[in-house]
Amino acid sequence: MSTIEISGLHKSFGRLEVLRGIDLAVAPGEVVCVIGPSGSGKSTLLRCVNLLTEPTTGTITVAGVEVTDPDCDIDAVRRGIGMVFQQFNLFGHLTVRENVTIAQRRVLKRGKAEAARIATENLERVGLADKAGAYPAQLSGGQQQRVAIARALAMDPQLMLFDEPTSALDPELVGEVLAVMRSLAAEGMTMLVVTHEMAFAREVANRVVFMDDGLIVESGPPVELFRAPREERTREFLRRVLEPSRISETEIGIHKAP
């Protein structure tokens, strides 16, 4: 059974149709990276998975529960979904430890000692155990995003959603966040990642999905999609976004149509 199953997903904001019929499944332990131009519907797709954005039509099932069912207890489902946003959304008046324990205590009803222990374990996972007593303003952007990841992991999610988690970071801080995400992938975490980091998608993803204009244009293993994309729209996008110094056109095979 898939961890995520999306069928016939449409989303409109007034007359603007952002998602125009998405079918997508993510298997347990799979890392799926979603790429595409701005405005293609990537973030809306991600937000629909845990109903932060309500679909217009279509069905979404997470871990066997149809979240689009009006009778679904969406709060219960969300407890098994970790989400990391572009912005870190940390509480500035709380320490790092307190940021990682607050949802555990309020949502999962864990005791103070247990929540603190789990916070420490997850701060160690992201390499920030020594910053537990610091406040967000004392951290770099990369460190704040790693705290946000630790906060999500502390809830014991079955699934992690990442919405362009490095887009708000200075270039030199991107690597430390991607390193944490690589380690989660290596541990077998199911991950749906919207990203503009093409090298990360090529290295870590089991499957890459290219979206444009509210549709999935094509998807496949990174080695296939990057080296021999089937669709001209995919080739055009990759020509524009890939830096030759990082991944050459010859290496990925987009210098000419296959």
Query: What are 202-254's pLDDT values in tens digits?
Result: 999 999 999 999 999 999 999 999 999 999 999 999 999 885 545 444 444 44
Record the pTM.
0.91
Say yes or no to pLDDT of 255 above 60.
no
CA distance 69 to 202: 35
Say yes or no to pLDDT of 130 above 50.
yes
**How sure is the predictor about 127, in pLDDT bands with cuts at 50, 70 and 90?**
very high
Question: Quick one: pLDDT at residue 247?
Answer: 47
Non-local CB neighbours of 43 within 8 Å, separated by 6+ positions = 163, 164, 194
- Give the pLDDT confidence of 143-199 residue by residue, as tens digits: 999 999 999 999 999 999 999 999 888 888 899 999 999 999 999 999 999 999 999
